[in-house]
Amino acid sequence: MKGNSPSADAPLLEATGITKRYGRYTALDAVDLRIEAGRTVSVVGESGSGKSTLARVIVGLERADSGTVRFRGETVRGRRARHAFRRSVGMVLQDPYESIDPRLTIGEVVAEPLRAHGLYRRDGAGRVRELLDSVGMEGVDPGDLPHRFSGGQRQRICIARALATDPELVICDEPTSALDVSIQAQILNLLLDLQQRRGLSYLFITHDLDVVRRISDEVDVLLRGTVVERGSAERVTSRPEHEYTRRLLGAVPAISPRERRIGRRLAAAAPAVTDGQDHASV
């Protein structure tokens, strides 16, 4: 079990009938999505399936042509409601090099949401220190520039930024796909640990069903903007019903129990984060 027990009647987030078109191209066709508090839902599909568009629509970076987004039962509509919703949602993007402004110090990067929501004046520097420590960046100087840090370290900084406003939901759009395989497991372990400590819910966007197995409670499989399969992560990844899901699973190399045990030991034995490590480290 990745998250806490689901609520029977009050989802944290519910999207209904989300449709998004670009000219004649339909990126999303009446997509529904439901995320319970403390749970992880993965939306999985190949490039062009619409999964990242769905994430952008939910967070408000794109406007849907039709459909409704509700957060804790309230429709997210109007400027005030959207502002409050965005404070309750963090986002971690795919490329930690592209998603950080190289001109800012890492402290300034983490503080961006605090400033945007008028929260920095209340001990902003202390909050930044707390956030960096929470993602394994203890002892790192918030005044350092991003070029000093590896890809894994930068993604930790991005995760700290996503947590700045104490969100209930974090949207992770392919957060490990740009990282070395040896680093991916450590970032996933960090996300799982943060979920347990903070009671977070995750919307996880990915093309990798091996990642889905590790982190998800429920899975929605998206093909050309339509959900073609939905179910528990255990059921979908072990007994898929749709041919497209079986094809996605076929693209994931089989990993033996012995290889999984070795991988877990390597992740657990990884050295602590230190300032100035090269790009092969976290």
Give per-residue pLDDT as tens, 2-46: 655 444 567 999 999 999 999 999 999 999 999 999 999 999 999
Tell which residue, 10, 9, 8, 1, has the closest CA to residue 168: 10
Give per-residue pLDDT as tens, 145-189: 999 999 999 999 999 999 999 999 999 999 998 888 889 999 999
Amino acid at 207: H
Cα dihedral across residues 79, 82, 86, 88: positive or negative: positive
**pLDDT confidence of residue 83:** 87
Query: For 258, what's the count of Cα atoms within 13 Å in the CB-facing half-sphere?
Result: 0
Give per-residue pLDDT as tens, 62-72: 999 999 999 99
In SS3 terms, 129-140 reads as: HHHHHHCCCCCC
